């Protein structure tokens, strides 16, 4: 069964460093998303991406964040200068239809020290 | 965002049916009702979605009230693997855009 894959599963980084989280969405999907979940809190929407541009972003997704689809298969989330409060699980998701079912990856646990 | 209301927690016994309720009294005509679940230490997992009619798939059934102001996710025979947080989410062009807005959900405990 097709699945969304994320790498790495766990990343530890120093405060102020840049990190890139990687995702391979399901191959024929058209809509791509990033969500995050701080430990013990709700899953929060960050950004959606369609047709090579951001279609929607939340207030969390400030100038420190960027997304890119550098080729036909990868979808990345970059955090330019990490803060302690960026520590969270980051989930990538994809869907074929805009309002259809979304499929999530297993997440990358980002720890900023 | 249109709000949904779910009980904080529910318990079930293994191999018994489970009915997870969700109220969404402010639903708009174009909102789809989506259900996701999150098992411990995993990403959210799609369960089922519907618009007006009841829906069935291999995982569950979704019963939608005639006025669409409430819905019920039905797990026909709960297993220990079904222990998770279940989220009822409205998804519509005007309501949510492309985002899924996760609330607190219902923590389902399945007893052996």
Closest CB from A48, A91, A104 relative to B98: A48
CA angle A59, A112, A60 (to 5 degrees): 0
Chain B neighbours among A 45-104 (CB < 8 Å)?
45, 48, 50, 55-56, 58, 89, 91, 93, 98-104
Least CB–CB distance from B91: residue in A42, A99, A103: A99
Pairing type for strands B61-64 and A88-95 reads unpaired
Question: Which letter, b or e, does each residue of B24-35 get, where b requires 16 or more Cβ atoms within 10 Å of its Cβ?
Answer: beebeeebbbbb
Task: Give residue ranges of B with CB < 8 Å to any A CB.
Answer: 32, 34, 38, 42-46, 49, 91-93, 97-104
Identify which of B46, B93, B97 has the shortest CB distance to residue A103. B46
For B10-54, write each residue's pLDDT tens digit. 999 999 999 999 999 999 988 999 999 999 989 999 999 999 999
pLDDT (tens digit, 9 = 90+) per residue, A21-31? 999 999 999 99
Q: Whole-angstrom Cα distance, residue B24 to residue B18?
A: 20
Is A44 in CB contact (< 8 Å) with chain B?
Answer: yes
Q: Which residue in the set A42, A55, A107 is minimally distant from B98, CB to CB?
A: A55
- Tally C-beta pairs within 8 A across A and B: 54
CA distance B77 to chain A (A): 23
- B104-to-A25, B5, B87, B88 alpha-carbon distances in Å: 26, 9, 7, 9
Q: Which single residue is written with the structure tokens 């102001």? A: B69
CB contact (8 A) between residue A56 and residue B32: no
Residue whose C-alpha is closest to residue B90's, from B33, B18, B10:
B33
pLDDT beyond 60 at B109 = yes
pLDDT-based confidence at residue B66 (cuts at 50, 70, 90): very high
Burial class (CB in 10 A: 0-12, 13-18, 19+), B74: middle
Above 70 in pLDDT, residue A44? yes
The confidence score (pLDDT) of residue B76 equals 94
pLDDT in tens, A54-64: 999 999 999 99
Residue B93 pLDDT: 74
């Amino acid at each position: 069964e097709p699945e969304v894959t994320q790498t790495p599963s766990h990343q530890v980084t120093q405060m102020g460093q840049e990190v890139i989280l990687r995702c391979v969405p399901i191959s024929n999907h058209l809509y791509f998303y990033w969500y995050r979940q701080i430990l013990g809190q709700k899953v929060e929407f960050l950004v959606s991406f369609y047709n090579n541009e951001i279609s929607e972003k939340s207030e969390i997704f400030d100038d420190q964040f960027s997304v890119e689809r550098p080729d036909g298969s990868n979808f990345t989330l970059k955090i330019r200068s990490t803060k302690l409060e960026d520590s969270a699980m980051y989930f990538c998701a994809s869907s074929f239809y805009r309002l259809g079912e979304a499929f999530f990856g297993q997440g990358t646990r980002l720890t900023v020290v | 965002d249109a709000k949904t209301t779910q009980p904080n927690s529910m318990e079930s016994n293994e191999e018994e049916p489970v009915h997870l309720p969700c109220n969404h009294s402010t639903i708009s005509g174009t909102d789809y009702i989506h259900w996701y679940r999150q098992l411990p230490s995993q990403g959210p997992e799609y369960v089922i979605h519907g618009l007006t009619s009841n829906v069935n798939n291999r995982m569950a059934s979704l019963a939608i009230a005639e006025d669409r102001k409430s819905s019920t996710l039905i797990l026909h025979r709960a297993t220990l693997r079904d222990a998770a947080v279940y989220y009822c989410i409205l998804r519509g062009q005007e309501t949510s855009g492309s985002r899924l807005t996760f609330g607190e959900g219902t923590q389902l405990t399945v007893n052996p």
